[in-house]
């Protein structure tokens, strides 16, 4: 814990933490913080495509909806997808990596081949196909991202488990007749915890980027929604006229992911320097 405290004192990390805390607050209290509603019936067609001004700091979009308000609501979607998809990814990776690394043999063989196949797909294209299978909507984006991105992490977990399995305390527990599940939960998992925490933190940013990319390609929450990627997509055909439509949501994505990556990197350096080159 003391190491984590030291990490938080680094200026860049402290800044990232502050930014992330701010984004979480904005997401949770979006309905109070947003200057205007963002649903279709609150659109004001007489107020379309307003330049950024005091009244609308980020301007308004093609339906007359305040862009700042949409960006504020968008924090919800990005965080929701980022956190939930990373959590599921890490759980899958943990299950697969543990099984492969701990049991070895044909289980390992089979799981590693599956991982090879998943990694042979370009992840974005596989996510697009999966999003098509699950039809439009946030849930489909979440499922697509969670099912695509676990393979690399599973490989890493497997490597950690393989090295832990050979350590004396695990061998000792096994020699004393401890059951496999006990060895896994009492001896291996706690020692793999730092890897899992790092993996989780490092994934969130990637998931937010992937969600934005899917929405940018028109797969996801759908037109008019407050997804940052969707907002960038809506503005991209009129960049020269209405640059604020794309610029602000894109900057929100970049700022969020940048903070997450800085934090993840610092965590990794503090908790597990061996992982440094695998980001």
Partner 1 sequence: MSAYLVKRLVIAVPTVFAVLVITFLLMHAAPGSPVDTLLGDRQATPEERARLEREAGLDRPLAVQFFAYLGHFARGDLGQIFGTRRSIASELRVRLPNTLTLALAAVLLATLLGVTTGVVSAVKRNSLADAVFRLLTFFCISAPVFWFGLMLIVVFALRLGWLPAAGSDTWAHLVLPALTLGLRPAAFIARVTRSTMLDVLGENYILTARAKGLPERIVVLKHALRNVALPVVTVIAGDLGHLMGGTVITETVFGFVGLGAFAVEAILNRWYSAIMAVAMLWGVIFVAVNLAVDVLYVLLDPRVRLTKEEA
Q: Nearest distance from residue 82's CB to partner 1, in Å?
A: 13
Give the three-class secondary structure for 66. Answer: strand
Instruction: Pick between residue 4 and residue 254 the one whose CB is nearest to partner 1.
Output: 254
Q: Nearest distance from residue 252's CB to partner 1, in Å?
A: 10
Q: Nearest distance from residue 173's CB to partner 1, in Å?
A: 35
- Determine which residue in the list 121, 139, 163, 182 makes contact with partner 1, applying CB under 8 A: 121
Which of 202, 230, 224 has the alpha carbon at shortest distance from 141? Answer: 230
- Determine which residue in the list 1, 2, 120, 175 makes contact with partner 1, applying CB under 8 A: 120
Instruction: Pick between residue 50 and residue 140 the one whose CB is nearest to partner 1.
Output: 140
Q: Residue 209, interface with partner 1 (CB under 8 A)?
A: yes
Q: Residue 128, interface with partner 1 (CB under 8 A)?
A: yes
How far is the C-alpha of 49 from the C-alpha of 173, rounded, in Å?
Answer: 67
Q: Nearest distance from residue 105's CB to partner 1, in Å?
A: 19
- Determine which residue in the list 253, 266, 270, 275 makes contact with partner 1, applying CB under 8 A: 253
* Number of residues assigned to the chain: 279
Q: Residue 123, interface with partner 1 (CB under 8 A)?
A: yes
> For the packed helices 189-216 and 150-165, what is the interaxial angle rounded to 10 degrees?
170
Give the three-class secondary structure for 60. Answer: strand
Q: Residue 139, interface with partner 1 (CB under 8 A)?
A: no
Residue 13's CB is within 10 A of a number of other CB atoms, namely 19
- Determine which residue in the list 129, 172, 190, 222 makes contact with partner 1, applying CB under 8 A: 129
Q: Residue 193, interface with partner 1 (CB under 8 A)?
A: no
Q: Nearest distance from residue 6's CB to partner 1, in Å?
A: 19
**Dihedral angle computed from the Cα positions of residues 252, 253, 258 and 259, in that order, rounded to the nearest 10 degrees:** 60
Which of 208, 230, 221, 210 has the alpha carbon at shortest distance from 126? Answer: 210
How far is the C-alpha of 180 from the C-alpha of 103, rounded, in Å?
Answer: 10
Distances (CA, A) of 146 to 5, 27, 206: 31, 22, 11
Angle at 47 between CA 41 and CA 53, to 5 degrees: 120
> For the packed helices 150-165 and 105-120, what is the interaxial angle rounded to 10 degrees?
150
How far is the C-alpha of 31 from the C-alpha of 178, rounded, in Å?
Answer: 52
- Determine which residue in the list 36, 195, 201, 213 makes contact with partner 1, applying CB under 8 A: 213
208-224 burial: b if 16+ Cβ within 10 Å, else e: bbbbbbbbbeebbbeeb
- Determine which residue in the list 2, 135, 166, 175 makes contact with partner 1, applying CB under 8 A: 135
Q: Residue 19, interface with partner 1 (CB under 8 A)?
A: no
Q: Residue 261, interface with partner 1 (CB under 8 A)?
A: yes
- Determine which residue in the list 35, 236, 238, 274 makes contact with partner 1, applying CB under 8 A: 236
Binding site for partner 1 (CB under 8 A): 113, 116-117, 119-125, 128-130, 132-133, 135, 205, 209, 212-213, 216-218, 229, 232, 236, 239-240, 243, 246, 250-251, 253-254, 257-258, 260-262, 265, 276-277, 279
């Amino acid at each position: 814990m003391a190491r984590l405290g030291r990490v938080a004192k680094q200026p860049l990390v402290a800044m990232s933490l502050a930014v992330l805390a701010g984004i979480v607050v904005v997401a949770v209290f979006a309905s109070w913080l947003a200057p205007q509603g963002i649903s279709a019936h609150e659109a004001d067609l007489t107020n379309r495509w307003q330049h950024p001004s005091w009244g609308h700091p980020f301007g308004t979009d093609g339906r007359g909806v305040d862009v700042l308000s949409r960006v504020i609501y968008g924090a919800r979607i990005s965080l929701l997808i980022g956190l939930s998809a990373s959590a599921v990814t890490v759980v899958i990776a943990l299950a697969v990596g543990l099984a492969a690394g701990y049991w070895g043999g044909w289980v390992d063989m089979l799981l590693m081949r599956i991982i090879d196949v998943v990694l042979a797909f370009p992840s974005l294209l596989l996510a697009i196909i999966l999003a098509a299978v699950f039809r439009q909507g946030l849930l489909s984006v979440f499922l697509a991202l969670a099912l695509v991105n676990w393979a690399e992490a599973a490989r890493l977990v497997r490597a950690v488990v393989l090295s832990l399995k050979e350590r004396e305390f695990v061998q000792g527990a096994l020699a004393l007749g401890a059951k496999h599940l006990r060895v896994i939960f009492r001896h291996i998992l706690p020692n793999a915890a730092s890897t899992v925490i790092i993996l989780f933190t490092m994934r969130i940013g990637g998931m937010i980027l992937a969600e934005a990319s899917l929405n940018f390609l028109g797969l996801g929450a759908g037109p008019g929604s407050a997804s940052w990627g969707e907002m960038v997509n809506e503005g991209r055909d009129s960049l020269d006229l209405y640059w604020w439509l794309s610029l602000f949501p894109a900057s929100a994505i970049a700022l969020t992911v940048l903070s997450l990556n800085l934090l993840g990197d610092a965590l990794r350096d503090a908790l597990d320097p061996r992982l440094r080159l695998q980001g």
